Amino acid sequence: MKLAYTVASPETQDPNMLAWRGADLHPICDQLAKLGYAGIDLMLRDPHVLDTLHVESALKASGLRIAALSTGQLAKEEKLALNIPNAQQAIEKTKAVIDLAAGWNAQVNIGTLRGQISATNQKQHAAEALAAITEHANSRGVTVAIEPQTRAVCNWLNTASEAIAWMGTYTAHPKILFDVYHALLEEQSIYAALITSRASLTYVQLSDTNRLAPGRGTLAFGDIVRVLHALEYTGYLCIECRQYPGSAEAARQAAEHLSPYLQEIENQ
């Protein structure tokens, strides 16, 4: 398992993102690399205006990789959704994100972009949109993962089992992003949900009970890491937390808290 951290791409404007923000990615990536991170989860708003040369320069200088591209800001800032009758703009922009991911050997995560449900047929619209997106992703060799989220954020697909069952209607191999904070609020047991999600688990996000960096609350991250190791999960553990008291400090706190557990399983 490797550590990653959420980073806002420079074209985003949302001050409330759970991500390290800055106009220049070079110092951000440099500091993360020095803290022992292996990758970044790049949260972008518009793939068509993203300065990819700037991103690649920061990655090359730091030695980091893109762990995933996250699409939440397409919903929050671009006001797009996949569950409307004509979601072509959302589909095309997501396909453009997939094209970027293909070049960076990264996956694409979809959370709030699926939209809120207020009518029965909206789930069908979302399924049709996701089917088109998944077909494009498969052609580019890119994994697309759905994020189960707490009902305070999205009013459907709140648990891992719900997301996997729904995705199974349009893809034979559904993949999920497992966010421990959302699971804490929705699952009967984080550990049981991880175990039942084993075949679909492709990405894990971490924050503590108070949405701060791991170690600032009461979650037993040692046990979470041990369960993931027992499930033979070898992907990224991505920190997505409130940037308090600042991004550099939150990143340091998370790395220092999690590193002993990662070292423990490496030594087994």
Domains of the chain from N-terminus onward: 2-266 (3.20.20.150)
pTM: 0.96
Mean pLDDT throughout 72-91? Answer: 95
Return the ∠ at Cα 71 (arms to 34 and 137), rounded to 5°.
100
Question: Does position 268 have pLDDT exceeding 90, yes or no?
Answer: no
Angstrom distances, CA of residue 106 to CA of 3, 12, 42, 99, 145:
14, 20, 10, 10, 11
The answer to whether the beta carbons of residues 67 and 101 sit under 8 Å apart is no
Peptide bond into 47 cis (omega under 30): no
The mean pLDDT value of the chain amounts to 96
pLDDT interval class at 231 (50, 70, 90): very high
pLDDT interval class at 181 (50, 70, 90): very high
What residues contact 247, with CB distance under 8 A and at least 6 apart? 20, 21, 28
The answer to whether the beta carbons of residues 94 and 71 sit under 8 Å apart is yes
Question: Does position 19 have pLDDT exceeding 90, yes or no?
Answer: yes
Placement of tokens 């001050």 in the chain: 15
Helix residue spans in 77-220 (DSSP H): 88-104, 121-140, 160-167, 180-186, 190-196
Question: Does position 67 have pLDDT exceeding 90, yes or no?
Answer: yes
d(CA 186, CA 233): 22
